[in-house]
Each structure stands twice: as C-alpha cells, then as structure tokens.
C-alpha cells in the first residue's frame, strides 16, 4: 500500500521524543514541508516545552499518545520497549517507522514483520519500504558499514572466506542522553577507547543477517566500535579482502550508487565534518599497497543522528507516503 | 660500552627542542635526578626562554650546540635532517638517541648503524641498547603496535599468511606544532578522519622491517592511522588471525611482559586517559566471538609524546648510562 | 534609494570568501531564495573549488572580480584592505556591505560614508540601511554588547557616570583561519584566557562611538575579550549601574524589541548552543542582589559568524534590496 | 598546637574520596613524602579499588572510617554533610581540613570554630593555620578572587564605595562528578554560559565576609560564574576601581607576594594551561586605558582542583604539621 496525500500535511507522531534521536526527529518533522507533528511523547519530560525549529513543542506521556491521529508513527523508544507500541500504533491504522533494534534483521522472529529501511540497498528495497506497514530503521553502525560493503557484494568482489575488519568510531550522542558518569564531559574529553569488543555489540547481528540476506554467508565480520570525544558522527574504517586489484577502487561504489541523493562517493578521505547535520553517507575506497592478496580499504562517514537515525527515518517515511525521498532532509 | 657515572649528573643535550616531543624531552630531563640539561636548540625560537619544570631554559641555534659538553645527545630534529647531526655528535664522542625516523629499521642502509630502542622487545634488545652508540628511538605508532604484536610472535601464535589489521587513532600532538590550517582548533574539534591510508604512512616500513627481523615475513600488515580531536595519546586496535582459540587471550601478554615496569597488561579496555603523561604502554586482548578461524583483538594505548617519543628516549638513555631504566620517568 | 527586484534573483558578489566569515556568507547566499552568487574571490585559494550548500564554488582572484555584475558586493577583506575595494565596487554601481572595521563608527572620517548596519538599533536605522549605498556591518563583539545596552539607553536607565563592565568570551573562529601557532588545536583546547585587555581591542571605539551617537558620553565602558575553546559563539556578560531597581529586569528589553525577528529576550541564561548557526541575539537581564546602588546584569549570546558577521550582512543586504529582512536567514 | 613529626610518615585520612577533589587529594597524599594514606571513604563506591599514583586504594564506607588512626582528616564530603564528621574526627583527636563550605567565613556561627585556610592572606593567617584544630579550606572561586584583591586592600588602593566586578569561568570538574544531564559531554562541549547570576552563588558570602574581616565594608562585589568546556581551571577577570593610576599595575601584587612559593605575578595574561595540575595562583594586572576614574583589571588563574581545593588542603595540612609548606605539591 502506497498512500497518496494531496496538498494537506501528513500527520506524524513521535514516541520517545526526548532522546537525541527523538529530538532530531522532531526537528526534522518541524521543518518538513509535508509533515505535521501530531504529538511527541517523553515520559520523563512530560509537560516540558521545548523549542523545535520555530515551534514550541510540549511533550506528553507515551500512554497519552493519540495514536489514531497519526498516519505515520516514529517509534524512538528504548531497545526492548518498542514492540507493544508498534502493535498499538498498527491497531490504530498508523504505519510505523521503528528506530529501535527490536525489529531489525537478526533480532528474532519479530524482525520478519518489518521491512529493513535502508533504501540504497537496492530497488526492491525501495519498493518494499514504499509498501511497508512497519519499517525497521537501521542502526547507525550498520548504516555506515553495510552501505560501504553492499557495492562489493553486488559486484562479486568480496573474497570468499574473507575476514572483514570494521572499526568504527562514534560520537557520544550515539550513547543517548541518559546521565551516566562515563558520558560526563570530564570523562569523555581528551579520551578515546574501544567498547563492546569481540563482536559483542548489538549491531553485529543486524549486519551479519543483512549480509546473509544478500547471500554472503562465508565471511567473518569483526566489528569494533569506539567512543570519540565528539558529539555527532561515525567514521567506519573497513578492511576487505577482495578478489582483484582494482585500478580505481571507488569504481564499484560509483557504479552502485549512480543516482543516490544521499550517497557521496569521493576520492578524498571522508571526515565527520563533511557529514554532520546532513542525511548522507560519504565514502571512499582505496587499495592497500604491498599486500600479497588484494585488500581494499573502505571508509565511510555519517551523522549518527541523521543518516544513522532520524534522517533515515524521515527518508523512509517519505517513501512510505509516496512523496519525494529528499523532502525535508538536509543533504 | 656501558658508561658508569657516580653521583654526578650526566650532561645531556637536546637538538630540536621546540617541537612537542622536544619540549617533553626538556621537561623530562629537567626533573630527571641523574641528568642535567647541557643545552637545548631550536633555530626558529633561538633566544626565547621557556619554563621547564622549575627551571628557565633559553634555546640556542642548533649550529651553536656545544656538542662536546654532552654525554648523551637527544636528536629531535625533523625527519630527514637528523643524520648529519648524529654524525657530528658522534664525532665529539657523544652517544645519541635519535628521535627521527631516519635511522629506524626499514629506512635504508643508515639504519644499520643504530640500535632500535624498544627495550621491551627482549633481553638482547636491552643489552644492545645499553652498549649502543646510536639508538634509533621508535616511532609512536610502531611502539603501540609492535609491543602489542611481539608476544604473539614469540609465542608462535600468529596465523601463517595472516592479514593483520592495525587501526590507530592519534592525538594532534603527533603531527607537531608547525602552524598549518588543518591543525587549527576549528578544523580539528568535533572531527575525525583517516589519513595516510593504503599503507602509505612512513611508520609502516619500520613495523614490517621489525617483524621481519623477528622472522615474520609471511604476514600482511594493514595500517591505517586516524586523527583524533585530542592533544595526546594513541590507541591501536589490532585484529590478528591466530593459530588457536585461547581461553584467556591476555595470557601470552602477561607471559611476555612479566616484570616490565612500563607495560600494563589489563583486562578492561585501555583508554587514552589511562596513559597520558605516563611512560607506559597499556594493553589488553580478547578473542573475537563467532569467527570461523581464531581471531584476536589486541588494543594498546600510549602517550605518543612519552612512551611514543620523549619518555622512551629517556628510558633508552637511562639504559645507555647504566642507571635504573625507570629513573625520571612517570609511570 | 531602495531597489526593487521582481522574481529575478539579485546578483551578489563576495570579496574575501575564504575566511570563516566569507565562507559563511557564501553558504548563506547559496541557500538564499532571492540572491545568486555572481562571484567569490580569495587570492590565496584562487582556482580552488569548494562545496557550498549543494553548489560547487570556484574562487577567483580579487583583482578578477567582475564588479559590474553584482548589485550587492559583500566585502569581507581583512581590516585595512577594504576601502579601495569598496570604492571600486561603488564605481561600478554596486552597493556594498563591508564586513571590515574600516568604515564603522569610531574609525575615522571614512566611517561617515557608511551607514552602521545594526537594524535593531531603531526605526531610523532601518530606513538608513534600506537607502544606503555603503553599509558598515557591525563587529561581532559590538553586536552582542550594543544590542544589550541599547534598551537601557533608550529607557533612560543607565546611571550617569556609570562604569559599564563588559566581559565577552568568543570562539576561535572570531580570530580567522590563518594558521598561527596559538590557534592550533593543541594550544586552544582545555585552555581559556583574556586578550586585548585594558580597552585595547579594535572594537572598543566602535562601541563608544555608537554610544556617543546615542548621546551617552558620560559613561566608561570597560571591555575585556576572552578566547574560548569552542569554534563559534560569543557570550557577553555585562554589568551595568542603573538608576532604579526593576522588579523585572527583562522588561526594558522586551519593550525595546517587541517585534524583532532576530532578538530573543528570555528569562533563562542564554548559552552558545542556543544561538550557533542562527541569526539571532539572545539575551536576558537580572538585578544584582544586595548591592548598595542598583546594578543590572545583562547577558547576551550570538553566533559570531552569523548575527556577528555574515548573517547580519545578509540581513542588511535584504533591507537594501527591499525584500523581507528574514529571507534566507536561519532563525 | 604545632605538631612535630620525625622521619615517620604522618597518617592522614580522606572522607569523601570519590569526587574530583577527593580523588585529587588521594593522588597528592599518595605521592606526598611525609604523608601516608590511612583510609579513604566513598559510600557509593565502597569496595571499589582505584589506582592512585603507583598504589591501589580501596574505598571504605564513611561510617567505617578509623578516625582514630589519622592525625589529619581531610573532609571532602558534600556541602551540608561536613559538620558532624568534623566533630567526630575532632573527638578522636584528629585535626581537620574541611573542604566543604560549611565552616568558611560567611556561613554562620560554625565558621568561627575554623581557621580560614588561605595561607597567602598574611603572616598571621599562616600562624593561625599552623595552630588550628580545624581549617576551613577556601572555595575555588574565592581563592582566585581574594588572592587577586588582597594586595589592593593591603595597599589601600581600593576606591571607596567601589563596585568590583568579578567574572569567573570554571571548568566542569568544579561541578563534581555526579552524573547529571547538563554535565554530559554533548551538553558541555562547544558551549558556554553564566550560572548562579545576580550574586546568588554560595561563594559570594565567603568572599564578602573575608573582605569584611579585612575592614572592607563599603564596596560592592558583583560575582558571575560561568561554565567552560574544559575539565580544570578557573580564570577570574576582575575590574576594580582604584584610587590612583599606577604606572605598573603589577607592583602592589609583587610587593604583596615577594616570597610566596605558590603565587606567580606575571606580565602576560595568565591562562588555564599555565596552572593546571599545579598548586599556584598566577595573576597579572593592568590599568584600563581611557577611563575617567582609575580602573584596574586583575586576572588570575588557578587549577580549581589543586590550588582551588586539594592542593591548598595539602598546603594547609603541611602547615598544620610543621613541615615545609611546599612538600608534596606540584608547583
């Protein structure tokens, strides 16, 4: 089902609006020319009014959300809390973009009920999103890594049995805004460290399940996230054994994303400042010199709150509503 | 030749004292109980007086260095400018610790004239340093990576034909204090990027030559440095194919470094704040879960200006002078 | 003379486009619905192409600027270099917004040729700007301080003979992007200091001349700028002896700026994060408790590159072109 | 009573050791050549072991503190919680350095029981501290401001009826390490704001009471603290009406502190990086040009955790124990 709206604004709601991703969503919706914000919930901050764009926005309790008044519900509740609210919104007829990990590939049976919302993965993906009742919005790390691997998969360039090493570094907004000692300014500034090492991060199974859906089952993916002393942005540095030395390592990426409005294939190294506050993934690739078997370095950068969360959610909602995918999104 | 000094202080000189490493060297020498600073040169800042510890220090031109008055000369001149000064200091009978890359392994014929000064690489290394006339002080990245790989080499754990992936992230002091636009605060803060990608960094050959000297010739090392928005510190995240699943991945490291005063093998992830302003390398290791062939993650952290430069240089000078390796060094 | 344009875009040029203010100007013009960028000059970076919004922009030499092709020329050349270019642009018939200090109040005879472009200073100001051939765009510190003092002046609240103490703290982008050692990341982060103390800052005479133009000649203004480890933003903390204790210290400010689109009078303390990337000044006021004579604290925050430079320049250009003052400006 | 100890180490205890000031205290005690750490309490973190210098330190519950085993007890408990513990420690015969505000000047009757521990305020102060049973360790802001005003008071330079404007900017460690949203990295970095405005900060009465004790009752002190995006350090910018134009504004400061080991009167502007991790106050002064009545700017910098808290506490304890005031303190 692809909905078509005329000139009227499409009412959307946000469940869990006080986190960094939720606030980014509200800001994007506030400036979106085709969406109007029907409600925004935040249990802890209910009754509080915040400025979003040029509007004032008062949070309500999640239990008080008028789910019947939204055509699209963005669910930005914590991981594990999402499913009942997705079902409740569906019962009221709303279509849902869920930003939690609960319905993403690799997260059990419930994931089958949702379409994985990474539009650039291919034309069938886009069509599925357009028709979806529930879209599972991808995780931030998977967005930066899968969009960097997909062109190599589709071009048949991944070396069989390869060990792919993905090192990612993320700004602190990825860890949310609940006050914990380890996220205090004095603990983060001038520091850097790995965490969730040894393939223990929640996002790993989302990536391996998606690769598996592409038919890639014979590779190992080693994923190590790091915490950067910055607010926004993820840079992923990915080492990939490939089947051939390419003269221009960026070619498969330019071939894969010829007209994607939100993918930038470049020749210089992408940096966080290139992508913050923008709904893009920016990437480049180069061959590693002097290795005995062909090895490629792919680096990709996103804003974890935009292309890695709220921006991609709006992009998916645009598709679901049959409007231009780029509307309301900062590129 | 191992020199022995009595209670008198040993006169040392610093060539190239105005860079970050040179200043750190002067500060360490100033508080060193057995060294006295005979001179410090800095062409651009000659005549300038700076406070180092509780002392005032006036830079002189490098050409004016009284090389005959120092038993040890630390040479912290730019890469490429070191060799003639090393020879000149030798002609005056001084022993030299050279902090440039010019005399390190992998940097041509000249490297044979120097002992590579990484004391923790083994007991023969220490003896060689003690007797050396010229010590090539290791690079910052090689210090963090080689000390993390050496225990796996000596334990025979490296998988034959392995591709070792070393991702390192460094604070900006590693790039020196020459004013360039890309090191301005406004260009560095809230940013992060890879550089010298594709195995093009000067430090790569230092690492591969050292591994080769260990007899490790059949592996690929892929090295990607990154620039962090912090002043000091390097964290290296190293993925290593190994020959066996270990129950405790830290064991080979604890075995390799049982009594090293400047190596900390820990169980939690090392972070920059653990090591800044200290002459230590701090590391841990863990097996990657779920890979088809055994794969280990080793992470190591150093202060690039201390264990990665000036501290290690003083450690080497201590050895050369026959005094306790730890004297004057912040652990 | 107020120009009126129809639906066609108004061609504007930027002289000195590679500094932080110049780049911000280009970005604002690129997304401005009524302006088109005729040229952007940058001698050092001529031939370089940069991305501005969704456009590519290639810098030309300033000498090559086609001044006849712009209706409005923004002059963002260094202080002291502006005047000949302003004259040259005028000779071609262009109207000019000059961002240097050369034509501002207090800077000698040349200042008489320009209208001081701070629209919120009063209705006559706005009319003068609309008709101006040359507008001197205010300095960043004066914008934050004068807009905070003007309501007290117009309400007759300044105590006669008062000493007004204005402490301002600015992000490093205010110092430009020429590479100097003191603006390196390693020198700025985790640091803070005063500079240009003792009323020696270039902006002081701009402020005293403007106060004098208001008829305020019997007060002392003590101005101390500071350098913050942030990229953007100025916070001014101003202590003002006043003639009466006010029950609500914000009242004169709300009265003075009832409908100003770019002034926010609030009750909580303004912070840099409230104003960065926005063309607003945000301010509050409170009485100091327990003083023997009535004393007020006014705090005001701006983005030094937007309301303190490029944004205010576009605001002035909007007025000069007879279009809505808010067009193309992020509020 | 001045205690004299021989070569034995003096046992000291720390109540409230897990905050930033408490941890700094433990670190200073750990490296102090004459003190040994008898205990360190931290209710929330009891049982936790931390590394302090080269020692391991396990926190115990405050109720379990063996108060009879310490000659000196440092009390770094929260404001309001200190008094009963000071009394309990006294009952066991320990002398106390209290870091809370509870016993400082201006904080009611209890303050009379303690000596205000700012040694540089004068020779009688030092003698009083040496003999004190209870020392109230000064607040961080008062340390930076009072040491900058005292020379003007003692030289009779303060203008009668003056309004002194003290603007201070502090790093976040001054706000403690309890996790609150407003101290998260993402909320502090790239931001700056005033707080506790209008003379509402707790430290104001400590300053006015101390000035009053000097006989200065006819001035107004306007104090506005600000929050800096740095970890450590306070810079105070103080505007003072004075009775005369001085040719060298630093002279009264050099006269007042001729041999103070922890006061640095300089000519260049002090900056945070000059003082962090050091037990010093660094200051300069200059006359304001062009004012109708003589006005002086004094700027002073301290490390809020060292000279503004733990370092000054150790300095006081040194005096109380009859040992060299400088022992164990980084200058």
Asked if pLDDT for residue B6 goes beyond 70, the answer is: no
Cross-chain residue pair D239–C163, CB shorter than 8 Å:
yes
What does the pLDDT average to over A9-35? 95
What is the dihedral angle through the alpha carbons of A230, A236, A239, A242, rounded to the nearest 10 degrees? -160
Classify strands D163-170 and D220-227 as parallel, antiparallel or unpaired: parallel
User: Which residue in D54, D190, D331 is closest to B190 by CB distance?
Assistant: D190
Q: Are C238 and C300 in contact (CB under 8 A)?
A: yes
The distance of D228 to chain C (nearest Cα, Å) reads 8
What's the complex ipTM?
0.95
Report the distance separating Cα A250 and Cα A254, nearest Å.
6
Q: Are C303 and C233 in contact (CB under 8 A)?
A: yes
The distance of D303 to chain A (nearest Cα, Å) reads 14
User: Residue C191: its chain D contacts at CB < 8 A?
Assistant: 230, 233, 271-273
| Chain C contact for A186 (CB, 8 A cutoff) | no
Helix (H), strand (E) counts: chain B: 9, 15
The answer to whether the D10-137+308-320 and D140-304 domains have the same CATH topology is no
User: Residue C199: its chain D contacts at CB < 8 A?
Assistant: 288-291
Question: For residue B31, what is the nearest residue in chain D, using CA coordinates?
Answer: D330
User: Residue D286: its chain C contacts at CB < 8 A?
Assistant: 197-198
Q: Are D286 and D266 in contact (CB under 8 A)?
A: no
Report the phi/psi class of residue B186: left, alpha or beta, with left for phi > 0 and alpha for psi in -120 to 50. Answer: alpha
**Would you please indicate which residues of A are annotated as catalytic (active-site) residues?**
140
User: Which residue in C198, C230, C231 is closest to D297 by CB distance?
Assistant: C198
| Chain B contact for D331 (CB, 8 A cutoff) | yes
Cross-chain residue pair C331–A189, CB shorter than 8 Å:
no
pLDDT band at residue D1, thresholds of 50, 70 and 90?
very low
Tokens 């330079």 -> residue:
D157
List C-alpha distances in Å: C119 to B311, C100, C143, C325: 58, 17, 11, 9
What's the mean pLDDT when you consider all of chain B? 94
Report the distance separating Cα D199 and Cα D253, nearest Å.
26
Cross-chain residue pair A189–D185, CB shorter than 8 Å:
yes
List the chains bordering chain D where 3 or more Cβ pairs fall under 8 Å: A, B, C
User: Mapping DSSP to helix (H, G, I), strand (E, B) and coil, where does residue A73 land?
Assistant: strand
Enumerate residues 251 to 290 of chain C having a beta carbon within 8 A of any beta carbon in chain D.
269-273, 276, 286-290
User: Residue D189: its chain B contacts at CB < 8 A?
Assistant: 190
DSSP string, A249-312: TTHHHHHH-SS-TTEEE-SSPP-HHHHTTSS-EEEEEEEPTT-SS-EEEEEEEE-TTIIIIIHH
Report the run of H or E that residue B206 belongs to, with start and end.
helix B203-213
User: Which residue in C54, C190, C331 is closest to A331 by CB distance?
Assistant: C54
List the chains bordering chain C where 3 or more Cβ pairs fall under 8 Å: A, B, D
> Of D200, D206, D203, nearest to D174 (Cα)?
D203
CA pseudo-torsion sign D101, D106, D107, D109 = positive
Question: For residue D187, what is the nearest residue in chain A, using CA coordinates?
Answer: A185
Q: Are C33 and C327 in contact (CB under 8 A)?
A: yes
pLDDT in tens, chain C (331 residues): 344 455 689 999 999 999 999 999 999 999 999 999 999 999 989 999 987 766 788 999 999 999 999 999 999 999 899 999 999 999 999 999 999 999 999 998 888 899 999 999 976 789 999 999 999 999 999 999 999 999 999 999 999 999 999 999 999 999 888 899 999 999 999 999 999 999 999 999 999 999 999 999 999 999 999 999 999 999 999 999 999 999 999 999 999 999 999 999 999 999 999 999 999 999 999 999 999 999 999 999 999 999 999 999 999 999 999 999 999 998 7
Cross-chain residue pair A181–D177, CB shorter than 8 Å:
yes
Cross-chain residue pair A190–D20, CB shorter than 8 Å:
no
pLDDT value at residue C3? 45
List the chains bordering chain A where 3 or more Cβ pairs fall under 8 Å: B, C, D
Share in percent of chain D as helix, strand, coil (round to 5)? 30, 25, 45
Question: For residue D194, what is the nearest residue in chain C, using CA coordinates?
Answer: C269
User: Mapping DSSP to helix (H, G, I), strand (E, B) and coil, where does residue D183 land?
Assistant: helix
Tokens 């904080």 -> residue:
D107
Which site among C106, C164, C196, C198 would you substitute to test the D interface, given the most D Cβ atoms closer than 10 Å to its Cβ?
C198
Query: Which value, in Å, is the radius of gyration of the alpha carbons in chain B?
Result: 19
What's the mean pLDDT when you consider all of chain D? 94
Which site among A186, A233, A273 would you substitute to test the D interface, given the most D Cβ atoms closer than 10 Å to its Cβ?
A186
Q: DSSP H helical segments within chain D, as ranges?
A: 20-30, 83-91, 123-131, 140-154, 185-188, 203-213, 251-256, 272-275, 311-320
Cross-chain residue pair C295–D190, CB shorter than 8 Å:
no
Please state which of the ranges B50-54, D195-199, D296-300 shows the lowest mean pLDDT. Answer: B50-54
Asked if pLDDT for residue B3 goes beyond 70, the answer is: no
What does the pLDDT average to over B87-103? 97
Cross-chain residue pair B189–C185, CB shorter than 8 Å:
yes
Question: Mutual orientation of helices B203-213 and B140-154 as an angle, nearest 10°?
Answer: 20
**Would you please indicate which residues of D are annotated as catalytic (active-site) residues?**
140
Cross-chain residue pair B185–C229, CB shorter than 8 Å:
yes
| Chain C contact for A190 (CB, 8 A cutoff) | yes
> Of D303, D285, D281, nearest to D295 (Cα)?
D285
The distance of D292 to chain C (nearest Cα, Å) reads 7
Q: Are A12 and A73 in contact (CB under 8 A)?
A: yes
Look at chain C and count its residues: 331
What is the dihedral angle through the alpha carbons of A171, A174, A176, A181, rounded to the nearest 10 degrees? -50
Report the distance separating Cα B15 and Cα B234, nearest Å.
25
pLDDT value at residue C156? 97
DSSP string, A90-125: HHTT-EEEE-SSTTSTTS-GGGGGSEE--GGG-HHH
Cross-chain residue pair D186–A180, CB shorter than 8 Å:
no
Question: For residue C176, what is the nearest residue in chain B, using CA coordinates?
Answer: B186
Cross-chain residue pair C197–D292, CB shorter than 8 Å:
no
The distance of A261 to chain B (nearest Cα, Å) reads 23
The distance of C116 to chain A (nearest Cα, Å) reads 29
Please state which of the ranges A147-161, A250-264, B119-133, B139-153 shows the lowest mean pLDDT. Answer: B119-133
Instruction: Give the single-character DSSP code of B137.
Output: P
Using CB atoms within 10 Å of the CB of residue A123, give its burial: 0 to 12 exposed, 13 to 18 middle, 19+ buried.
exposed
Q: By percentage, how much of chain B surpasses pLDDT 70?
A: 97
pLDDT band at residue A1, thresholds of 50, 70 and 90?
very low
User: Residue C273: its chain D contacts at CB < 8 A?
Assistant: 187, 190-191
Enumerate residues 40 to 69 of chain B having a beta carbon within 8 A of any beta carbon in chain D.
54
Query: What CATH number has the domain spanning D10-137+308-320?
Result: 3.40.50.720
User: Residue B20: its chain C contacts at CB < 8 A?
Assistant: 186
List C-alpha distances in Å: D82 to D16, D136, D289: 10, 11, 46
| CATH 3.30.360.10 for the A140-304 domain, yes or no | yes
pLDDT value at residue A202? 93
User: Which residue in C191, C270, C289 is closest to D272 by CB distance?
Assistant: C191
The distance of D185 to chain A (nearest Cα, Å) reads 4
User: Which residue in D54, D190, D331 is closest to B54 by CB distance?
Assistant: D331
A&D contacts, CB < 8 Å: 60
The answer to whether the pTM exceeds 0.90 is yes
- Structural domain spans, chain A: 10-137+308-320, 140-304
User: Which residue in D192, D228, D288 is closest to C198 by CB distance?
Assistant: D288
Asked if pLDDT for residue A123 goes beyond 80, the answer is: no
The distance of D66 to chain A (nearest Cα, Å) reads 29
pLDDT value at residue A2? 42
Q: Are B62 and B41 in contact (CB under 8 A)?
A: yes
Cross-chain residue pair D276–C224, CB shorter than 8 Å:
no
Question: For residue B231, what is the nearest residue in chain A, using CA coordinates?
Answer: A190
User: Residue C54: its chain A contacts at CB < 8 A?
Assistant: 331
What does the pLDDT average to over B21-41? 95
List C-alpha distances in Å: A111 to A79, A185, B53: 13, 36, 61
DSSP string, C217-259: -S-EEEEEEEE-SSSS-EEEEEEEEBSS--SSTTHHHHHH-SS
Cross-chain residue pair B20–C184, CB shorter than 8 Å:
no
């Amino acid at each position: 089902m692809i909905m078509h709206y005329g000139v009227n604004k499409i009412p959307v709601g946000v469940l869990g609006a006080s986190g960094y991703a939720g606030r980014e969503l509200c800001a994007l919706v506030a400036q979106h020319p085709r969406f109007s914000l029907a409600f925004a919930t935040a249990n802890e901050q209910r009754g509080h009014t915040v400025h979003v764009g040029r509007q004032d926005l008062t949070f309500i309790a999640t239990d008080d959300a008028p789910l019947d008044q939204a055509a699209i519900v963005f669910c930005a509740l914590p991981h594990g809390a999402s499913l009942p609210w997705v079902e409740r919104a569906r019962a009221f007829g709303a279509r849902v973009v869920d930003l939690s990990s609960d319905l993403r590939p690799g997260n059990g049976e419930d994931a089958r009920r949702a379409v994985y919302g990474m539009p650039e993965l291919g034309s069938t993906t886009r069509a599925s999103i357009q028709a979806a009742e529930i879209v599972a919005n991808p995780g931030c790390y998977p967005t930066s890594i899968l969009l960097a691997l997909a062109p190599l998969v589709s071009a048949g360039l991944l070396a069989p049995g390869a060990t792919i090493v993905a090192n990612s570094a993320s700004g602190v907004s990825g860890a949310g805004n609940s006050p914990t000692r380890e996220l205090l300014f004095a603990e983060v500034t001038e520091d850097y460290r790995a965490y969730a090492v040894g393939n223990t991060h929640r996002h790993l199974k989302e990536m391996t399940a998606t690769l598996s859906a592409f038919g890639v089952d014979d590779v190992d993916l080693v994923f190590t996230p790091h915490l950067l002393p910055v607010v926004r942005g993820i840079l992923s540095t990915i080492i990939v054994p490939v089947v051939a030395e390419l003269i221009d390592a960026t070619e498969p990426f330019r071939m894969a994303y010829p007209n994607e409005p939100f993918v930038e294939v470049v020749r210089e190294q992408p940096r966080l400042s290139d992508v913050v506050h923008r709904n893009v993934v920016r990437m480049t690739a180069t061959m590693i010199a002097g290795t005995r078997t062909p090895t490629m370095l792919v680096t990709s950068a996103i804003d974890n709150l935009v292309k890695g969360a709220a921006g991609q959610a709006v992009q998916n909602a645009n598709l679901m509503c049959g409007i231009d995918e780029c509307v309301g999104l900062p590129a």
